[in-house]
Amino acid sequence: MFKYFIMIISIILVLSIILPFLTVFLNVDYQLVIEIAKSKEFIDSVKVTFFAAFIATLIAIVFGTPFAYLITRYNFPLKSVLEAIIDIPQTIPHTAAGIALLLTLGRNSIIGKGASIFGISFVQTFWGVVVAMGFLSFSIYVNAVKEGFKKVDIRYEKIARSLGASPFKSFFHVALPMVRHEIITGSLLMWARGISEFGAVAILAYYPMTLSVLTYDKFQGYGLKQALALTALIFIISMIIFVIIRIIQNIWKYTESR
Amino acid sequence: MELYIKNLKIEIDKFQLYVNDLKINSGEYVYIVGPTGSGKTLLLEAIAGFIAPKSGKILFNNQDISKLPPEKRNIGFMYQNYHLFPHLNVKKNIEFGLKMKKIRNNTFFNYIVERLNIFHILNREIQNLSGGEKQRVALARALVTKPKILLLDEPLSALDQEIKGDILNLLHKICIEYNLICIHVTHDKNEIIENSRVYKIYNGILTKEK
């Protein structure tokens, strides 16, 4: 009886996720999907979205990995505050985050003025997209890698030190390779989350248009039919990405269980 | 060569460990016994430099090594579960210390591998080794950089009863053969070979048992 009860609950949950997908694919004009898929506007927006999310993820790897290690391995005052700060962007509305970023990085801000000396601007530019995506998805990467470091017994690193490794070498040769799966999974999840970012991106850098901004733009400018075709394309891309992530994870599980 | 620990005080949270006077010479195999949680591992980790003592001195050949980082102490360490690096195969695990210390000595590497009878498993993954094989690989990894001190933290606990005796004999032979200062900590008094020097840790204080 209990089994059937939780099965029904699970089916309702799965249906609630599948239903919007099905509705889109049942109502979309497939001719228009093909047309949009071939358009320069769509291809450019795919490039901007994927590449900006990729750059944001690379930046997260460089800064987030040592941060995750610091949080896991060392005790210091206000550590829990530092951990909470990283998670803040997850808890605030993304449009609010966009406004905060606009004020912090805008042309009249100290950072904005400083960056302009090097010819970099964050408002309505590719770098703005990168920052907005990174700001809101950074914690996904950090938390994934943090969990990885937590699973690695510190004694591996102690042994490495006794064998002549400096703290740097012990980190690069022992700790880091042992969390490689978490680094890759965290990167993929952050990248995928970055791709879907809308609120902050739309406020800080409406142009160049990402896929989410383009969908909104089509909906506002051309109505539901155009937006629906674009939505169908985005669903297909998202599904491909997550299938790839699952395949990679399953390959790891298989190779590790051997 | 001599290891001399003098008035060593270690404090971790509310736990305190005190070693008044401990001298061990090269080629000596010393046991430290005590119940779980008595601070045996803590003492080894302090000698290896993994944790800093609150006060006191650790002298090796009359030189104070208590402020040196672990990588500068030339001490081999083996934990109960060996902690072989799972992302490296057997050969790369053993070579790890050589790589870190930039030592290019294939002769000694080959000698140790032959001596511990692990030549045939060099290309195996760590996950595919038996308990006894892991023990030998961990020992080879610790010895290949020619340490002067070998610290063994419950080295036999994870092994089957049948091979414990063989491995213990091997450890004693290796200690004499390489003129090492060996400290073996254990909670199991059955591991002690007759006529060995034995210390015990009780209530955070190290005292000589026999």
Domain ranges of chain A: 28-257
- Angstrom CA distances, B33 to B38, B46, B50, B176, B187, stand at 9, 17, 21, 21, 5
* Residues 6+ away with beta carbon under 8 Å from A72: A146, A149, A150
Beta-strand relationship, B2-12 and B149-153: unpaired
What is the rounded CA–CA span in Å between residue A14 and residue B121? 49
Q: Is the ipTM of this complex over 0.90?
A: yes
- Pick from A246, A118, A155, A154: nearest CA to A192: A246
What is the rounded CA–CA span in Å between residue B144 and residue A237? 52
Q: What is the pLDDT of residues B79-119, one digit of tens each?
A: 999 999 999 999 999 999 999 999 987 888 998 999 888 99
Positive/negative CA dihedral, B81, B86, B88, B89: positive
What is the rounded CA–CA span in Å between residue B149 and residue B127? 28
Q: What is the pLDDT of residues A96-115, one digit of tens each?
A: 999 999 999 999 999 999 99
- Across the interface, which of A166, A174, A177 has its CB nearest the CB of B71? A166
Calculate the average pLDDT of chain A: 94
What is the rounded CA–CA span in Å between residue A164 and residue B73? 9
- Would an 8 Å CB–CB cutoff place A257 in contact with chain B? no
What is the rounded CA–CA span in Å between residue A247 and residue A222? 37
Tokens of A96: 């609010």
Shortest alpha-carbon distance between residue A82 and chain B (Å): 23
Calculate the average pLDDT of chain B: 92
Residue type, B199: Y
- Pick from A214, A149, A132: nearest CA to A186: A149
Contacts of A180 in chain B (CB under 8 A): 87
Shortest alpha-carbon distance between residue B164 and chain A (Å): 23
- H-state helical runs in A74-179: 79-91, 94-105, 110-117, 126-151, 154-162, 167-170, 176-178
pLDDT at res. A203: 96
What is the rounded CA–CA span in Å between residue A29 and residue A228? 8
What is the rounded CA–CA span in Å between residue A220 and residue A206? 14
Helix (H) or strand (E) run with residue B82 in it: none
pLDDT at res. A257: 55
Indicate the DSSP class of residue B192.
P
Tokens of A97: 């985050």
- Would an 8 Å CB–CB cutoff place B97 in contact with chain A? yes
Q: How far apart are the first and last CA of chain A?
A: 37
- H-state helical runs in chain B: 40-48, 90-100, 106-115, 131-143, 161-177
* Regions of chain A short of the pLDDT cut 70: 255-258
Q: What value does the mean pLDDT take over residues B130-149? A: 93
Cis peptide before A208 (omega within 30 of 0): yes
Contacts of B50 in chain A (CB under 8 A): 158, 161-162
pLDDT at res. B2: 93
Contacts of B76 in chain A (CB under 8 A): 162
Shortest alpha-carbon distance between residue B204 and chain A (Å): 22
Percent of chain B having pLDDT more than 70? 100
* Cβ pair A159:B100 closer than 8 A: no
pLDDT at res. B203: 84
Residue-range domains of chain B with CATH: 1-74+148-210 (3.40.50.300), 83-146 (no CATH)
- Pick from A45, A58, A46, A47: nearest CA to A190: A58
Residue type, A119: G
Out of 3.30.420.10, 1.10.3720.10, 1.10.10.60, 3.40.50.11540, which CATH number does the structure's domain A28-257 have?
1.10.3720.10
